[in-house]
Amino acid sequence: METKVKLLIILFALMLSGLANAGERFLGQVKPFKGPNSNSKEVGSTISFITESHIPGTTVNLVFYYTYSTPDGEWDDGVSLDFPNGVFVNNASVCTQTGNEQLPYNGETGDGVVVTWGNINGGSGLGGLRSSGQFSVNVTISEDFTGPMSVEWYIAGDGFGASPNFNSGSIVLPQALDYDLAIVDFKPKLVILGADYVPVVSVRNVGIHEISSFTVNVLVPEFDYNQTISITTTIVANEVVQIEFPSYLPMVEGTYVATATITGGGGENEDNNELVVSGLVSPLAEAYAINGINLSYNEIDLSNGETVNVGTVDYFPWQMAEEFDGNNIYRINHDASFGTVDPDGTFHQLGIMTGVPGYPSGLAYNWETGVMYVVVQNEDTNHSHFCTLNKETYELTEIAESTSLILGMDFANNGYLYAVSFQNELIKFDPVTSEISIVGPLGIDILYPQDVSFDVETGLLYTIASGDYFSVFGTYDLNTGAFSQITDMNGVYYYTLVITKNPNDYYPVTFNVDMSPASFLDVNTDEVFVSGSMNDWTEPGDNQEYVLTKAENSMIYSATYNLKPGSYSYKYYVNNGWSGAEWSDSYPNRNFEVVDTDLTINDMWGNQTTSVNEMEFRVEIFPNPASSVITIVAEKEILDIRIIDMLGRTVHSQLVNSNSSIVNLDRLSSGLHIVYIATNEGMITRKLQIIK
């Protein structure tokens, strides 16, 4: 395993180094040797300010952006910044915080010093920096320092067989105006058809003095939308406020242009008082994946793995993972850039993730808490770092470290985060306790960065897994870790996979069927299935997900599925195949409708008239949420109780034979559970949230 890990680090670094095209990376090409070359080399890299202005008398992180560029393969050895007197350097980050390689900060501090990173003399022939990214320098600006701040920069190349090459220049940071407001962000750009459009405008005080009164207007002609909000809250220098506008429901897909405008507030610079964005109203496919060979963006059918090309993606930066939060598809790239994605694969960068160095490889959204998680690989330690992401500042906060090399990850319905590792294991992470555990082996030998995505409708964790000369589409078992193949992807390596189903759009529907009339049924060997329009009439026996579970001391068989609102038809079957139906096709199917609430269906085998949607007696569970114990009270006698977690596992069962019962939760884990309560009149279910 140690040999494999070393190889995988090389392969992972290769993917991020830009030394080979996607096909060569897939075949496992390693980093080429850099030997003497008679051709002259040229450094085209530059440095620019991300920070927009400075305020005298403040201590601030000045943020810079290093743009890697060369016409013929030169790599960079060192970087320097020469600050003017009156600017005291306190410390600096590595250069870059987000790029593929990093140059160490050499430690210079003081007033008006030259700050250096790496080998500023150049000429190593090996290079240390060859991908773009941001870095920062913490400075204290003297109160006497006024006017523009001019910083001289210098970049030394590695020479590569010739005399060291370099590039240099100067950048200027203006002093902030006395009073100035700026619109720095305007969301959303993508609106899912049928979802609310809620404009959010971010306004920053980029001036020196506080401002306490101004108005913001949002105009969208295509929606006939024109709203103005007055702000009377004081905003100090560098503070950002987010202003949420009333919602609107677009009913037609297409493009739109939205304009946000500031008025009032004493702004001295009118150029930043308005921001115009182009947006899109569009439906989403159920899943998308990036083809790493032809750089296409594809819709993917989860039932069979078939893909349809709907767009393209850029070669650089490399796309690492995508995630959906109910409003947007988000993407992280190898250079730590973070942004949203249109249905055609177009990427809109929101910012650069900072705070934890390394390569981001996984992205997951916790639907229960609304927190986005990122896993970052540390090339020096070969460890993975689980982090939370602030989607406003793009700051990463580490919450746990794993010795496994974590790749794709996603949250399941049970509240846990699941991830695959280069060690061929499925990993489970508890976001509450930060506990990391191994579920089990994958059963396949993966060799490349790859994504996973959880389907809230079926409860399955999907992936397009790639290894040595293979690529397959399938699912991982959350109980064992084992991979189950759906189809062969014919050696095509896919970077990302994202499922765009919103858990809030689905409602638990519990099927209860009393099998007492089925005198032929052998409870020890026979299986009872449900099939219908909710599972595309899957043939009984083809998918064990649709096997119903027998309640103790009862002939009631049950199962719960997450379904969208709509009308459905269904029927029950015994054992594999269509021949075991409760009645022939000449009779109508059973029917039910999901509106906007959880549903319990109670049927009797072979009786077409007994299907009901709600129990006619009261059942209560309290407290809920609960941590240690619950009490269940019903108007009818309770026969037994079963508690099922969101992976479908029975985690607690007990006989009752009374109208009430106390259940101890000490051995149960945090997360959403379904409580099955069996009575003589049928089975009823209730949601239970356990919080510890």
Report whether pLDDT(501) > 60.
Answer: yes
Note if the bond before 250 is cis, omega within 30 degrees. Answer: no
Q: Residue 324 and residue 331: Cα distance in Å, rounded?
A: 9
pLDDT in tens, 205-239: 999 999 999 999 999 999 999 999 999 999 998 89
Q: What is the pLDDT of residue 610?
A: 46
Q: Which fold has domain 181-282?
A: Immunoglobulin-like (2.60.40)
Confidence of residue 99 (pLDDT cuts 50, 70, 90): low
> Average pLDDT of 408-420?
93
- CATH number, span 287-504: 2.120.10.30
Of residues 106 and 392, which shows the higher confidence score? 106
pLDDT in tens, 138-196: 999 999 999 999 999 999 988 874 555 889 999 999 999 999 999 998 888 888 887 88
One fold for 287-504 and 506-612:
no
The secondary structure of 464-496, three-state, reads EEEECCEEEEEEECCCCCCEEEEEECCCCCEEE
Q: Is 619-690 assigned to CATH 2.60.40.1930?
A: yes
Task: State the sign of the Cα–Cα–Cα–Cα dihedral 157, 84, 182, 95.
Answer: positive
Confidence of residue 3 (pLDDT cuts 50, 70, 90): very low
Spell out the CATH class of 46-173: mainly beta
Report whether pLDDT(400) > 90.
Answer: yes
Q: What is the pLDDT of residue 681?
A: 67
Q: Are 98 and 56 in contact (CB under 8 A)?
A: no
Q: What is the pLDDT of residue 653?
A: 87
Biggest distance spanned by C-alpha atoms of the chain: 94
29-33, 292-296, 309-313, 441-445: least confident range: 29-33
For the segment(s) 506-612, the CATH number from 3.30.310.50, 2.60.40.1730, 2.60.40.10, 1.20.1110.10 is 2.60.40.10
Q: What is the pLDDT of residue 96?
A: 85
Report whether pLDDT(623) > 50.
Answer: yes
Report whether pLDDT(532) > 50.
Answer: yes
Q: What is the pLDDT of residue 21?
A: 37
> Average pLDDT of 595-623?
74
pLDDT in tens, 422-472: 999 999 999 988 999 999 999 999 987 789 999 988 889 999 999 888 899
Share of the chain above pLDDT 70, in %: 90
Report whether pLDDT(559) > 80.
Answer: yes
Q: What strand order describes the sheet that includes 133-141?
A: 46-49, 59-67, 133-141, 87-92, 110-111
Residue 76 Cα distances to 53, 69, 124, 475, 538, angstroms: 28, 10, 9, 43, 58
3-class DSSP state for residue 12? helix
123-132, 420-429, 549-558, 602-611 — which one is most confidently predicted on average?
Answer: 420-429
Q: What is the pLDDT of residue 75?
A: 86
Of residues 672 and 263, which shows the higher confidence score? 263
Report whether pLDDT(596) > 60.
Answer: yes
pLDDT in tens, 337-395: 999 998 999 998 888 898 998 889 999 999 988 899 999 998 778 899 999 999 888 99
Domain positions in the chain are 46-173, 181-282, 287-504, 506-612, 619-690
The secondary structure of 290-312, three-state, reads EECCCCEEEEECCCCCCEEEEEE
Q: What is the pLDDT of residue 129?
A: 83
Mean pLDDT of the chain: 86
Q: Are 283 and 311 in contact (CB under 8 A)?
A: no
Report whether pLDDT(497) > 80.
Answer: yes
Q: Residue 606 and residue 514: Cα distance in Å, rounded?
A: 10
